[in-house]
Structure 1
């Protein structure tokens, strides 16, 4: 290995100093109430809220246990890691100075869902007396104290998008924790005929992937298999769903893996999936996407469309004939549909059923 020269060392030191000058941070502390005010109605990048979630951020992935433990930490005044944000400069005065969440969207969304009574506390470690509590169940004084709790905010004072994405990647580049579908894929249940002959081939179906594009990160997270599992799980056991996505899907996946499946049953499931894909291809102009230009598919849009179509066909005597299709684009772009489908929240039962039934009822003309 060649020895580093004095000139190289000087150039390296100069580069460090110059880069340090380009990147500046400011430290803030905001009470939760202020954060929620800035977050608006869910931090949608396309809304007018001040604090928003950028497109490169992940979907909400925390299950009820993780979110509840985080809320418990706040109630106990335990240290919370920094939330990283960035100022956004925009020539449009209406959009200037909005704040982009670089790291911390899962935490902020958990707080948002809790304060809006969409998260019921469960599997707590210390405050077991709060099992089943919603925010509204806390005494009024405790609610006020919770909203006054401050979170530490680190603000990147640069509008360079490369810096923002680089910071996001650096913060999240530690050891990768396996997400649920990755864990299922590595389990014994993934050796079953249900997984190998139903979930896996459906997740790799070219038409499905055309209709439901995903980011490279979500593809690597086995999200195609996750969507397929949701399709069959909700399609066959929706009435058993109890607002805990992970437990519900784990139970369904393991049950299916432990049951014998003959070729006829396997083909029947695949035919149901293919029928829905063909119907969506023919009648939904954006596939499972929320807009024509969207580059990745939201789980809530997929669930509402795929399961709505599935149940509509089922109630229509397992036929697509006679389903109402001439007004799909009209109701799909309506405020009513967008309101019911854009909140993934805590995936509570009523919201899941509401977005599925909305599509089903429209197709059945109800």
Structure 2
């Protein structure tokens, strides 16, 4: 009996070991498989060479990206300080197109700062002209204050020529994503480098990815964000407009009406995933998705205007824009809009929105302490039922 027990124990242990070995082997295979999708080259290049490549059209910054070039003068001056002092600067990531042209994937702020300082930053339609960069004094180099690359007026302080030559000869590390990398390489690298960083909001990163991968998709989202009815129903701060939050709201509506969300993902990761799915889906029905969007927001604007996504206190709508109200009203109406007969049912919809804010379920899942990850799986089925006529 004792021997049999030992044999069973050994068998179980051997089985566990085989499972572990299989997992380890699978992991190694996954790594080898995915490694082939990311083909890169890395080498240093002088700033002068990099600027010349840009002047010759061999290195490009997508014009749409310049909308996101918003480093402060302090940040720009610190970059110049770092170069002059030899402080390490993060690598510039570029994507090599099939025609050999390099596109900036990560490094927009650094390259644009250098181009602006040297008066080589191109003008872009609908983007305010940056003008030349006048440096600020920095922590270690306070005498940079007022310095410019080249004098335009007698009183200008031109950077000494030896320092200009030093900057031109200073090297930046370049990482080139080669054109025969996997189809998702540019998407993944850009997203991982920028998400959570100071370069852009999550939605700005998605916008940039769309511009790089399929600009028509970005244009489609932008047109929806500029829809007059949609714009009239949201009341947002200038900061949220600057961070492209209206486009995130469009994505939020598309994602939650056409795809299923689970608590396995953070909401931002879910939106990233849906963006990637839409970009890769040649059969995505842009036309009907746009019709559905316009129907919902034209109705909401007609009935509620800019009160649509504010809290109702029993007497009036007031306060700031609420994501939870946006989700509940838009998703609930989108699910049931064909049951309504507008404009005859305008008052019915208005009253339902008012009642929503005193509804026990809505209050429980949208009150203090709630977050999108726990809220949305509860609110979506609730609101689809709540707005049923």
Q: Which has the larger radius of gyration?
A: 2
* TM-score, structure 1 normalization: 0.44
